[in-house]
Every structure is written in structure tokens, then in C-alpha cells.
Chains A and B, each alone.
Chain A
Amino acid sequence: METDSQCKRVMFRIRAALEYRPLTVDLVSTLSVQVAMADRTFRNEIVTAFGEAFNNLVVHGYAGRADGMVEVEAEMTCDQITLRLLDGGLQVDFASLGPPDLGSLPEGGMGVFMMRALVDDVSYLAGELNVLTLTKRVR
């Protein structure tokens, strides 16, 4: 972990597999505690958004590939957390994904909507390594 007076940075690399979901989510939950001004709702929101991002990466990005890895870079200040997920899987075009019709009670396709609803910024940069960035600030 790198630390300066205002920002703490952590990186970890983990298998992109659902078996690793609980561990990965627990790690992010622990990191979110470093945002000193965050309350429980804030932590629940960033952990939930991250979990959806991780699901998408495993299910759609790597689409069942057993050798997928994801690198997570986290930056925490007293009032903000930024999580970058870097993966070498298929590109997922977030821009083309509109909001689900919640009135029709969909049984899937809600993950990206939840990510967008629960954090302040979601950005995606496709490339050799795809980078999904989630940023959440204390209000």
C-alpha cells in the first residue's frame, strides 16, 4: 500500500472467477473503510457497484475463460474512492447499454444500471487491457 498525506493506493491482482467474488468483494469492503468520511451506506454502495462490475467482467468479459485475471487499483482519500478494474477479456460496450425497463421487471441486465446508480462516475476504456473506473465521493 502506498500512502501519502491525502491518498492511499492499493493494487491487487486476482482470478476473474466467481469463486473469487466473495474474497474480492471483502477486499474492496475493507478498502472502503479507509474513506474516513464514508458511512455504511457509502460503503454498501461502492461494494455493490464493484460486485456488479466484477460479475460483468467474469461473465461477459472473460465469458467463462478459466485463465482470466483482473487487476484492481484502488485510491482512497478521506472523502472519495476510485476503483480501476483492468482486464484482458472481451470489450464490453457500456455506451450501448441503455437502462433496463424496470417496469417490466427484468430478471437480468441490471448490473450496469446498478453501477451507474450507486457511484458518481463510471467510465470504460477498451484496449489491450480494458479499464473500468468507478468513482464515488462522499456527499
Chain B
Amino acid sequence: MRCIRTRSVDGIRLQVSGALDALTVEELRPILDAVVSERPRRVVVDFTELTLLDSSGVGAIVSLYKRMKAEGGTVVIAHAHDQPRLVLQSLGLDRIFSMVGAVV
């Protein structure tokens, strides 16, 4: 798992690549904690290069979503496709998260 963080006009963009799963999720958590602590209005989590997602990775994204929402911010999931999209759909999260640019 690799996470590249960039600033955008109204928030923060996180490009998460590789596998976000039980093995790698602990690498992402401190990054998400730091993002939330900055209280951005919007966080875009870009899954363009994410190849694998499991329930542990989903848990970290759900945690980000809940904390951002509590602060009045939003989370956008961008370009979720293939297996990661399947996982989000199987949990009904594609109807909860703002999803953009999904490749079917």
C-alpha cells in the first residue's frame, strides 16, 4: 500500500495504491488521523490505483468518513473500480459514500 497526499483547493487528496487490507491498513491509519486533525472541508480518497480492498481497509475508510462527518466535512471516493468497487458495493457503502469517476 502506498498513499500519496496532496492539497487541493478545498481539501486534501489521498491517492491510495496497491492493496489496502489487514496487512497494510495500520500504515494508513496515522495518515488518516493527521488528515482529520487538520479539519479539511473535503477529503478525496482516490482509488484509481487501488488493486485490492478488504473489510479492514473498509473499516479505516468508514472511520475517516465518520470523523469527517462529525466535523462537518465530506469524504469522496474517486475511481473505485474492479475488486475494491465490488467490496464497497457488497457492504452497501457505494450508497453511503460520495462516489465519483467509478469505472464499472
Q: Footprint of B on A, CB under 8 Å?
A: 18-19, 21-22, 25, 40-41, 44-45, 47-48, 51-52, 55, 58-59, 102, 105-108, 110-111, 113-114, 117-118
Interface bits B78-104 vs A (CB < 8 Å: 1, else 0) = 000011001100111000100000000
Chain B nearest Cβ from A116, distance in angstroms:
10
Report the interface size for chain B: residues with CB under 8 A from the other chain.
23
Contact between chains at B23 and A19 (CB < 8 Å): yes
Which label, helix, strand, loop or mixed, suits the secondary structure of the B interface? helix
23 residue pairs A–B, Cβ–Cβ below 8 Å? A21-B22, A25-B52, A40-B82, A44-B82, A44-B86, A47-B83, A48-B86, A48-B87, A48-B90, A51-B54, A52-B54, A52-B55, A102-B91, A105-B66, A107-B62, A107-B63, A108-B59, A110-B55, A110-B58, A110-B59, A111-B55, A113-B91, A114-B91
- Tell me whether B56 is interfacial, beta carbon within 8 Å: yes
Task: List A contacts of B63 (CB < 8 A).
Answer: 107
Contact between chains at A22 and B19 (CB < 8 Å): yes
Taken together as a complex, chains A and B put the C-alpha atoms of A59 and B86 apart, in Å, by: 23
Task: List A contacts of B19 (CB < 8 A).
Answer: 22
Chain B nearest Cβ from A73, distance in angstroms:
22
Interface bits B22-57 vs A (CB < 8 Å: 1, else 0) = 110000000000000000000000000000101110
